[in-house]
Amino acid sequence: MLLNFILAIFLSALISYLLTPKVRNFFISQGFVEDPLVKNKKTGNATALKPVPRGGGLPIFLAILVTSLIFLPLDHHLLTILAAAFFTVVIGLIDDIKDISPHFRLFCNFLAAVAIVSAGIGINYISNPFGGVINLSFLPASLLAIFWIVWSTNTVGWAAGVEGQLPGFVAISAIFIGILGLRYAVDTLQWPVIILAGAVAGSYLGFLPFNFSPQSIMPGYSAKSLAGFFLSLLSILSGAKLATLIFLLGIPMIDAFLVIIRRLFRHQSIFVSDGSHFHHQLLKLGWSRSQIAIFYWAVTLALGLLSLFLNSQQKFYTLFGLFLILSALITTVSRRTL
């Protein structure tokens, strides 16, 4: 299974690497580019330095699709997952070409999540950090799964402000989910999760060289929403490891939570970007785009390594401490830049 995991990463990365320039060139030829000057007039939070095409979700999706079809049997679950992912990337590509309403995007996220739970994929329990599991049978299994998929689809995508930021930490997170799955490879139910994690990791790794500074293509909403969709799905399929994904995505998750709280406190819409994310604040402090991206990768890598050695209770305390530290850090940086 380890060999198949590595092969899935390699094949997916190769497909994504070969297709990304073709998608980039097509978008440029059609004039589907994002002009930071125009975006700044609308939202004031553009971080790109020059007009760049979006549409990164297309080569990423195709890489995951081909790799999955080669390594995994096309059963009902996989067919539903790929169909929901296709729907997600299509909506994302429409937004990449012509911005659509964030409320409509959220509605489409909800539809994709409903499609997943309709296939029988839900969350019946979550791990108890103090031992055992927390039974959620008193709730509809689909309710928490829908919330989790929609939440992750949006919050993961919010951490894509600078070149290379998103594909790097998404690939690292998927790799560690796959590694954690390999620990239980004796359970054949983990095999599809391991392969899918490898396909997701490889697809974003293959895209990374073209997105790292100086970028020639951006992930766009298509790649951002796809990242959150697949990571949330992997955390569910691997045995309701929601806390593990929150642990791996420490900065993006905490930053998203604080941004929502801040917008609600200021009576602002949580759907309208205001340039207040952590990476925006680091840019204002003078950090380079490469430094910000590598910082996000490094934190994700460190948390991934910790996840291999900590038990559930230790992860809980570490996550709680991380929340306090990052909350204080993000709040301090935000105050200094305002």
For a pLDDT cut of 70, what percent of the chain falls above it? 88
Q: What is the DSSP letter of 120?
A: T
Q: What are phi and psi of 239, to 5 degrees?
A: 110, 45
Determine if residue 132 is left, alpha or beta; phi over 0 gives left, psi from -120 to 50 gives alpha, anything else beta.
left
Distance CA 164, CA 58 (A): 17
- β partners of residue 134: 126
Distance CA 22, CA 4 (A): 27
Q: How confident is the model at residue 38 (pLDDT cuts 50, 70, 90)?
A: low
Q: What is the pLDDT of residue 40?
A: 47
For residue 190, give its domain range.
2-240
Residue 74 lies in a domain: yes
Q: What is the pLDDT of residue 45?
A: 52
Lowest mean pLDDT across 80-84, 90-94, 158-162, 288-292: 158-162
Q: What is the pLDDT of residue 139?
A: 62
Rounded average pLDDT over 292-315: 88
- Return the structure tokens found at 260: 């929502």
- Structural domain count, the chain: 1
pLDDT one-digit tens code per residue, 94-104: 999 988 988 99
Residue 328 lies in a domain: no
Residue 21 lies in a domain: yes
- Return the structure tokens found at 234: 């992997």
Distance CA 169, CA 296 (A): 6
Output the pTM of the full model: 0.90
Helices and strands, counts by H and E, the chain: 14, 4
Residue 248 lies in a domain: no
Rounded average pLDDT over 213-232: 94
pLDDT one-digit tens code per residue, 182-200: 887 666 778 899 999 999 9
Look at residue 201 and give its three-state secondary structure. helix
Residue 158 lies in a domain: yes
Q: Which has more pLDDT, 60 or 257? A: 60
Residue with tokens 């195709």: 62
pLDDT one-digit tens code per residue, 311-325: 777 877 887 888 888
Burial of residue 338 (number of CB atoms within 10 Å: 0-12, 13-18, 19+):
exposed
Residue 308 lies in a domain: no
Asked if 248 and 225 touch (Cβ cutoff 8 Å), the reply is no
pLDDT at 19 over 80: yes
Q: DSSP per residue over 27-84, as a string?
A: HHHTT-EE-HHHHHHHTS----SS-EE--THHHHHHHHHHHHHHHS---HHHHHHHHH
Residue 22 lies in a domain: yes
Q: How confident is the model at residue 327 (pLDDT cuts 50, 70, 90)?
A: confident
pLDDT at 107 over 80: yes
Residue 50 lies in a domain: yes
Alpha helices, DSSP H, located in 212-311? 220-237, 242-248, 250-265, 278-284, 289-307
- Which of 220-224, 247-251, 275-279, 303-307 is the most confident on average? 220-224
C-alpha distances in Å from residue 200, one per residue of 194, 318, 334: 10, 26, 32
pLDDT at 73 over 80: yes
pLDDT one-digit tens code per residue, 116-154: 999 888 887 676 666 666 776 656 657 888 999 999 999
Pairing state between β 52-53 and 125-127: unpaired
Among 301, 250, 303, CA closest to 278: 250
Distance CA 294, CA 277 (A): 17
